[in-house]
Amino acid sequence: MTVQTKRVSDPATLAAEFAKEFADWSARQTHDKISIALSGGSTPKILFKLWAEQYADVIEWSRLHFYWGDERCVPPGDPESNYGVAKKLLFDKVPVPPENIHRVLGEADPQEERSRYEDEIRSVVALRANGLPQFDLMLLGMGDDGHTASIFPHQRELLTSNEICEVAQHPVSGQTRITLTGPVIKAAKKTVFLVTGAGKKSVLADVIHHKGEFESYPASYIDEGDVTFYVDDAAGELL
């Protein structure tokens, strides 16, 4: 299965293109409790701001349930918190019922939270026949080292973990994180990567074309089913 690529000029246009597709996609879903796993980092911030500014009254937010593909093990008020960023830029501005927001408790003990989050996902997200939770939409980013969620090149075993989520470490800062595992990410009905910036162009080309060092890049393994990379011109220059 080859992944799809949509290339647009710049990050703002990328967010606008995806936001429109997302609004159409969510309206077409015939079930409620539409499960969406958000990515962290900086790229989604543009999308969160756009959702808040232009889609607060357009999307049926009460049908959406939000989770995180990964979270830093910090308190929600910490600037590093993926939930904290989404709350400030999005959830404080659109009518998502609080019970629809399934955050990772970054302030908790990582191993205990890993288990708790796994149980929460299992209790709410539809399970496939093989017992894996199947998110309706998996929103991912990609680091310039080819990581996605918090599956980094030095911990590629998380791509084949039997767990729903695992405790991970950032390779440079050592920051502890909780991440969905490869099988759960790959089980999603629809997967979208949002990738911007020239710093990622070489790795992105290897990831998408499965060439060069692609086997060391976790993002390369997310290549089954409905996978679309939204990239800006800077990140997509070598595609």
Q: How far is the CB of 28 from ligand 6PG (least distance, A)?
A: 26
Q: How far is the CB of 149 from ligand 6PG (least distance, A)?
A: 5
Closer CB to ligand 6PG, 149 or 207, in the complex: 149
Q: How far is the CB of 231 from ligand 6PG (least distance, A)?
A: 12
The residue number whose beta carbon is nearest to ligand 6PG equals: 141
Alpha-carbon dihedral sign for residues 74, 80, 81, 82: negative
Q: How far is the CB of 193 from ligand 6PG (least distance, A)?
A: 9
The closest of 175, 177, 114, 188 to 151, measured between CA atoms, is 177
Q: How far is the CB of 71 from ligand 6PG (least distance, A)?
A: 7
d(CA 231, CA 142): 11
Closer CB to ligand 6PG, 41 or 171, in the complex: 41
d(CA 212, CA 203): 9
131: alpha, beta or left? (left if phi > 0; alpha if psi -120 to 50):
left
Closer CB to ligand 6PG, 132 or 222, in the complex: 222
Closer CB to ligand 6PG, 42 or 111, in the complex: 42
Closer CB to ligand 6PG, 45 or 63, in the complex: 45
Which residues contribute to the site for ligand 6PG (CB under 6 A)?
Answer: 39-43, 69-70, 82, 141-143, 147-150
